[in-house]
Amino acid sequence: MAESHVHGIDSWIYRHREGLKAGLRILFGLIWIIDGAFKFQPGFIASGAWQPSPDGQPPWLQGWFTFWANTTSSNPTLWVDTTGILELLLGLALVFGFMRKIAYSGGILLSMLIWSVPEGFGGPYGPSSTDIGTGAVYAMVFLFLMIVNAGYGPSQYSLDRLIESRWPRWKAVAEIQGPWIREATK
């Protein structure tokens, strides 16, 4: 169907795609900023919410959680503050659209680390389990952002776009591009 013949919500989404792409990225960035800020609240370290627990986990995962519990308990402030700083930096990169390729890739890694250590892979699982934790979902959102960037081109509303206008080689740091995007944007 020709672009001019599309009506309704499809047409609205298409006309506003750049703002929607940026808006979703910015909203996700604000979530990361809030989450990172929570790490610096008084009493967070004492709450133990950051520490992995082998309790209730399957026997084949006990070694994983025991390793991380021992490692993080030696200097909890270092681990919590480092995680909080990384979350704040990731959130700011998303809000401003800065170094997106690195931010999205790093976001996947950080999300999976959070999911696999303090979130305990969302477990322990049992009759009262209701979800698998947020880390896995966050990793999927980062993957989605990468796919959107690769499939629909670079964001018009980003700091990266401004830098690229002055230094075109910045695309190597900022953009996830396939050959189909490079050809279309020449």
Close Cβ partners of 25 (under 8 Å, ≥ 6 residues apart): 94, 95, 97, 100, 145, 155
CA dist 173 and 94 (Å) reads: 14
Q: How confident is the prediction along the chain (186 residues), in pLDDT tens digits per residue?
A: 445 445 666 788 888 888 989 999 999 999 999 999 999 999 998 888 788 777 778 888 888 888 998 898 899 999 999 999 999 999 999 999 999 999 999 999 999 999 998 888 887 777 777 778 889 999 999 999 999 888 887 788 999 999 999 999 998 889 887 554 444 445
Provide the whole-model pTM. Answer: 0.84
CA dist 142 and 157 (Å) reads: 18
* Three-state secondary structure of 90-126: HHHHHHHCCCHHHHHHHHHHHHHHHHHCCCHHHCCCC
Give pLDDT, residue 178. 58
Give pLDDT, residue 158. 94
Give pLDDT, residue 4. 46
